[in-house]
A = this chain, B = another copy of it.
Amino acid sequence: MSTGGLPNVVIVGGGFAGIAAAHALRRAPVRATMLDRRNHHLFQPLLYQVAISALSPGDVGTPIRTLLRKQHNATVGLLEVTGVDVTNRQVRVAGDADEVQAVPYDYLVLATGVEQSYYGHDEFAAFAPGLKSLTDANAVRSRVLRAFERAEVEIDPSKHRDLLTFVLVGGGPTGVEMSGALVDLTRLTLKADFRRIDPTTTRIVLVEGGPRILPSFAEELSQKAAERLRRSGVEIRTGKHVTLVDAEGVVVDGQRIRSRTVIWTAGVTPSPAGKWVGAPTDHAGRVLVSPDLSVPGLPNVFVVGDTAHLEQDGKPLPGVAQVALQQGRYAGKLIASRVAGRPAPPPFRYFDKGNLAVIGRNFAILESGRVRMAGFLAWCVWAGIHLSFLPATESRFVVLRKWYWMYLTKQLSSRLIGDTPPPGASSDATTRTAARSVS
């Protein structure tokens, strides 16, 4: 990838931070090169809606090329970055011997985000998919729908309980929003679809290791969310740890909960960006960046978003979309200033616009400055904000229309199971047979 004489800014990762960085370089005299191993930007906050069949993958994923189509100084490469050579200023990428091996940079923005973490228990992954990618969301969707399908044809009614028990590990926004949405799926949508089972008898268990769900919210709001979930039938177990996940379910503090569908939203681990550039990291592996988001000692290398660690007012910034967006934009603007020979902007400062979570239809909690809200009005704010942040104009219409449709008919429109069961699916006959034959 030639730089055409202009300074080459390489951005790794097309998430919120990376896209914001690229957009901030729109008018700068640079060549911006966006590298991602996936061809799409993902609107993570709505990913759980794909998992419960309310939205299609195309509604929350937008090709990165589409987002940068009109930015003529930007090039997009579908490449997997494997490391950084800070001495020779180039990014190493995976590929055959005859393919591109490295991409040179003058400025580097690492916006590589986080991955699902099973806290050292990667063997749980086969039984409890996470919710970080479209593949994850499709896997969760297939498992959830297959559980009902299998219960419908199961002869032995004692097995219905296992099939109709869903365990969500992790009481953060994704786990909470997913459990609220699962209640709606069973109560409103699937109710009329089955003849032999009653989907409304589904048991949903939400397990959180900390003392309360949604710890990033004020205690009062987290309580209201918990009350709302309990009223709609979700069992919440706080202060409990999942010590085992297998084909039969989970073990929570020594107690077995039999379930064929376990979803893991309990933790994340940062990308290896810190290792790539040999930067100091926190205990989790997040890069301890300078106040201008650059790597200490490497003033032309920036780390932004979830994979960066920066403290503000004595507390580390949270790994949320707003922080990523603002940091990406800051890094882009800083590079634009430096290239143009303008003075650098003041150190990065996060402006907290607030915090929102939705608990099923019509109910959300909202916290912004001194404002704290819980209920339908907060839900409207949530819907409005999410719609306005979806990147493609068209997606916004589609999502709006789907929600409207859902409202009118209580039907979810994307209830498709892929042709082949997911590998390691506990609800898959082949796997279960295999597991038995070795036990």
Contact = CB atoms under 8 A, between A and B. Distances in A.
Interface of A: 1, 38-40, 56-58, 61, 63, 65-66, 69, 75-79, 94-96, 98-100, 133-135, 145-146, 149-150, 152-156, 159, 192-196, 392, 394-395, 397-398, 401, 405, 411, 413-420, 429, 432-433
Given A39-B145, A134-B419, 6 more contacts: A65-B415, A66-B411, A69-B192, A98-B159, A99-B155, A394-B405
A77 B429 contact: no
A432 B79 CA distance: 16
Nearest first, the 10 A-B pairs at minimum CB distance are A78-B149, A135-B419, A58-B414, A65-B193, A39-B417, A56-B58, A63-B415, A75-B195, A77-B153, A56-B56
10 contacts: A39-B416, A57-B416, A63-B415, A69-B193, A76-B152, A78-B146, A78-B153, A98-B155, A395-B413, A401-B401
Given A75-B196, A135-B419, A394-B411, A39 B149 contact: yes
A385 to B, nearest CB: 22
A279 to B, nearest CB: 27
Given A66-B193, A146-B78, A149-B39, A99 B429 contact: yes
A394 B196 CA distance: 27
B150 A78 contact: yes
Nearest to A40: B416
Contacts of A420: 135
Identify which of A159, A417, A420 gathers the most chain B CB atoms within 10 Å of its CB.
A417
A155 B146 CA distance: 45
